[in-house]
Amino acid sequence: MAISEATIESMIKDLPLPKNILDTLRKDTFGVGVSKKEMEEIILRVVESYEYACVEPCEAVGVVSAQSIGEPGTQMTMRTFHYAGVAEINVTLGLPRLIEIVDARKSPSTPMMTVALDEGYSTDRDKARAVAWEIEATHIEHLADVTTDLANMQLIIDLNGKILTQRNMHIDDIAEKLRDELKVNITSPDAVENQLIITPDEPSYRLLLQLAKNIHTITLKGIEGIARVVIRKDGDEYTLFTEGSALKDVLYIEGVDATRTHTNNIVETYDVFGIEAARNSIIKEAIDTLNEQGLSVDIRHIMLVSDIMTCDGAVKQIGRHGISGEKASVFARAAFEVTVNHLLDAGMRGDVDNLNGVTENIIVGQPIKLGTGDVHLVAKRPVIE
């Protein structure tokens, strides 16, 4: 006799199973007409296979992960630098990128942001373009021709009026900005339209040439460090891709959907969104890098790595200054890198090694505390009367 959905629900809701297995269980049993006896059998088998699939206690998951990421790593391209997915934006891929991720570099070699747009902006190309201009750093060379006039000791800036209107900028704002940054005298002649003349405080060649150089470093509009913004249509929504990353500044811009904006810089993600977002970012970046190379590594291995990297509240690198360098055992650290230094320092400090880990037990020739090596048999002696 078939049982109701409510009965099935009450039978499965307290099972020690993860959410997606429970969801599948519900999907497959609801409305099929299983009897109570069948349902019990199903649950028994599901729990049994789940427990069978679980990793066993004392299993060396770290070593398995290291092997599972390391082996495909050998097949990765040593040096790739090309245009992946996003049009025209250069991103580091392959092994160099993977190394960058596990090293938790402060800034990746090719920082990049994916900027989602708010409703109303995301479907309108012109509005999307306007947001892009707000983000992209605009320098004087984008807008004007700068000529050094040595005869009159001045810089002549001929602004391109068309580009100014396109980028929604005004000549007065530019003059203001340059005046603030360079602290010089700027005049706008009435005879010629869209022209600015900069004269240094005192007539000196050195000052003039320095001025001609400095003027190019000033960001007139947009966010410093964002070299380029590319608009792409994903489905029916426009998304911006930026070369360079400044997450915090971008989130303040009108029209940007802060809840769906990402950067490929893990440390920046940590600073802005916190440790859990950084962990998600490590997983995503690592798995994307591997998949892009056509390598399929189980996500659990990557998850283990990212959990270890984020377990004490900050993003730690795998390596000398992170996980491996913080091991409690002197032998384990010495076995990794700079052996003599570690032994010498430990000797001077009088450190004690309790031989709890794997490496140190192999070094001294004892069974390691893994698998069956970690289980002790305790027998209760029968009481003899």
Partner 1 sequence: MRKFSLLDHNSVPKHEIIQENEVKSLLDKYQIEKGQLPKIKQSDPVIKELGASVGDIAKITRNSQTAGESLYYRLVIDD
Q: How many CB atoms lie within 10 A of CB 59?
A: 13
Q: Tell which one of 97, 167, 262, 301 touches partner 1 (CB under 8 A).
A: 262
Q: Give the interface size with partner 1 as a residue count (CB under 8 A).
A: 33
Alpha helices, DSSP H, located in 183-254: 205-214, 247-251
Q: Which is nearer to partner 1, 138 or 310 (CB)?
A: 310
Residue 201 found at the interface with partner 1 (CB under 8 A):
no
Q: Tell which one of 162, 254, 384, 385 touches partner 1 (CB under 8 A).
A: 254
Q: Tell which one of 233, 260, 320, 321 touches partner 1 (CB under 8 A).
A: 260
Q: Tell which one of 47, 182, 231, 258 touches partner 1 (CB under 8 A).
A: 258
For residue 28, the one-letter residue type is D
CA-based nearest residue to 166, from 196, 146, 195, 136? 136
Q: Which is nearer to partner 1, 142 or 316 (CB)?
A: 316
Q: How far is CA 147 from CA 140, 159, 195, 201, 209, in A?
A: 12, 11, 11, 18, 11
Cα separation, 340 vs 211, in Å, equals 54
Instruction: In angstroms, give the least distance from the CB of 323 to partner 1.
Output: 14
Q: Which two tokens stand for residue 268?
A: 């920046």
Q: Which is nearer to partner 1, 53 or 348 (CB)?
A: 53
Instruction: In angstroms, give the least distance from the CB of 19 to partner 1.
Output: 3
Instruction: In angstroms, give the least distance from the CB of 12 to partner 1.
Output: 14
Q: Which two tokens stand for residue 178?
A: 């340059």
Q: Which is nearer to partner 1, 154 or 265 (CB)?
A: 265
Alpha-carbon Rg of the chain, whole angstroms?
Answer: 31
Q: Which residue has the tokens 């109570």?
A: 36
Q: Which is nearer to partner 1, 254 or 385 (CB)?
A: 254
Residue 21 found at the interface with partner 1 (CB under 8 A):
yes
Site string for partner 1, 279-318 (x = CB under 8 A): -xx--x--------------xx--x---x--xxxxx----
Instruction: In angstroms, give the least distance from the CB of 364 to partner 1.
Output: 27
Cα separation, 33 vs 122, in Å, equals 46
Cα separation, 355 vs 361, in Å, equals 6
Instruction: In angstroms, give the least distance from the CB of 155 to partner 1.
Output: 36
Instruction: In angstroms, give the least distance from the CB of 104 to partner 1.
Output: 15
Candidate segments 208-216, 231-239, 250-258, 371-379, binder of partner 1 by CB under 8 A: 250-258
What's the residue count for the chain? 385
Site string for partner 1, 263-282 (x = CB under 8 A): ------x-xxxxxxx--xx-
Cα separation, 210 vs 148, in Å, equals 11
CA-based nearest residue to 265, from 321, 318, 315, 320? 315
Instruction: In angstroms, give the least distance from the CB of 332 to partner 1.
Output: 20
Residue 64 found at the interface with partner 1 (CB under 8 A):
no
Cα separation, 34 vs 107, in Å, equals 56
Residue 61 found at the interface with partner 1 (CB under 8 A):
no
Q: Which is nearer to partner 1, 270 or 331 (CB)?
A: 270
Residue 55: φ, ψ to 5°: -70, 140
Q: Which is nearer to partner 1, 136 or 285 (CB)?
A: 285
Residue 19 found at the interface with partner 1 (CB under 8 A):
yes
End-to-end CA distance of the chain: 58
Instruction: In angstroms, give the least distance from the CB of 279 to partner 1.
Output: 8
Q: Which two tokens stand for residue 210?
A: 């320095």
Q: Which two tokens stand for residue 65?
A: 């992960």
Strands 237-243 and 228-234: antiparallel
Q: Which two tokens stand for residue 342?
A: 């570690």
Task: Name the site residues for partner 1 (rule: CB under 8 A).
Answer: 18-23, 251-252, 254, 258-260, 262, 269, 271-277, 280-281, 284, 299-300, 303, 307, 310-314
